[in-house]
Amino acid sequence: MKEGSIKTDRLFGIHPLMEALQGERSVERIYIAKGRGGTAVEDLIRLARSKGVPLHFEPREVLDRIIGSTKHQGVMGLVAAKAYGTLDEILARATKQSEAAAVLVLDGIEDPRNLGAVLRTADAAGFHGVIIPQRRAAGLTETVAKSSAGALEHVTVARVVNLTQAIEALKAAGVWIYGLDPGAEKSYLEIDYRGPVAIVVGAEGEGISRLVLSGCDERVRLPMKGRVASLNVSVAVGVMAYEILRQRDR
């Protein structure tokens, strides 16, 4: 697969979507024509909900227009063309490279362009992987791939059901967790990042959720001298990532 070629595949028809839900590729969301019933559709809905896949119910004409055909059985799904990795794969990558783990944990980044820009920075700064939540966050869509400028091909992205549990797993592996929080007392420049670290970053405006922030070992802030309260998330990640790279390359 060439750089920039990752895109979200459209699958339509009940059987193909059932197979995708039971396979390795991640189903981002499913569209179902309003009024579409039957046992097969009910089974599809039940399986999708059990896996936390968002369901959208739309007029049948909407599906006809998107697909360009009426032969879709009233269901369509967006399926990531690239399979997600795992937390263990991220840590194994650090071990294989004989490096202290450097991981990004993204809490609620919903803008796919921001996610793509973050992945581009993660690749450039040598991070071993990125962890994103399954719900209320952007997945690996075509927009993400385009915004990453090919970096998505080279970055392991793990998608987890529960970020708090993922953070606990990182801790158990000896990784120190830093949450980027504008209300923190310590500046990001006061920290030694040469050991195994994970940087947790939240969405613009809302920041890191309270539960996820409480699981961090320490909170750090980026000094802000202007009137704007925060940086774009991809810029904030870039500042943190290159401080880690700078310290490790000394």
pLDDT digit string (tens) for 227-249? 676 788 899 999 999 999 999 98
Closest residue by Cα to residue 197 from 116, 96, 90, 117: 90
Lowest mean pLDDT among 59-63, 149-153, 156-160, 232-236: 149-153
Q: Do domains 8-80 and 87-248 have the same CATH topology?
A: no
Question: 30-56: per-residue pLDDT in tens?
Answer: 998 887 878 889 999 999 999 888 898
Alpha helices in 105-232 (DSSP H): 112-124, 142-147, 163-172, 210-214
Contacts of 229 (CB under 8 A, 6+ apart): 182
Which residue matches tokens 């996820």?
212
Distance, CA of 94 to CA of 85 (rounded, Å): 14
What is residue 69's three-state secondary structure? coil
Q: Is the dihedral of CA 7, 8, 14, 16 positive or negative?
A: positive
Q: Which amino acid is at 1?
A: M
Helices (H), 70-189: 87-96, 112-124, 142-147, 163-172
Q: What pLDDT score was predicted for residue 136?
A: 81
Higher pLDDT, 206 or 242: 242
Which CATH superfamily groups domain 8-80?
A: Ribosomal protein L30/S12 (3.30.1330.30)
Percent of the chain with pLDDT over 90: 51
Provide the strand spans (E) within the chain: 8-12, 27-33, 55-58, 75-80, 102-107, 129-133, 157-160, 176-180, 186-187, 197-202, 218-221
87-248 topology per CATH:
Alpha/beta knot (3.40.1280)
Q: Stretch 72-88: mean pLDDT, rounded?
A: 81
Domain segments of the chain: what residues?
8-80, 87-248
Distances in whole angstroms, Cα of residue 72 to Cα of each of 61, 64, 109, 168, 191: 11, 8, 31, 42, 54
For the chain, how far is it from start to end, CA to CA, in angstroms?
35
Lowest mean pLDDT among 6-20, 91-105, 132-146, 152-166: 6-20
C-alpha dihedral, 82 to 159 to 123 to 77, nearest 10°: 30
Q: Tell me the CB-side half-sphere exposure of residue 248, using CA atoms within 13 A.
A: 19
Mutual angle of helices 233-248 and 112-124, in 10-degree steps: 10
Is 38 exposed, middle or buried, given 0-12, 13-18 or 19+ CB atoms closer than 10 A?
A: exposed
Residue range 54-72, pLDDT digits in tens: 898 988 888 888 777 776 7
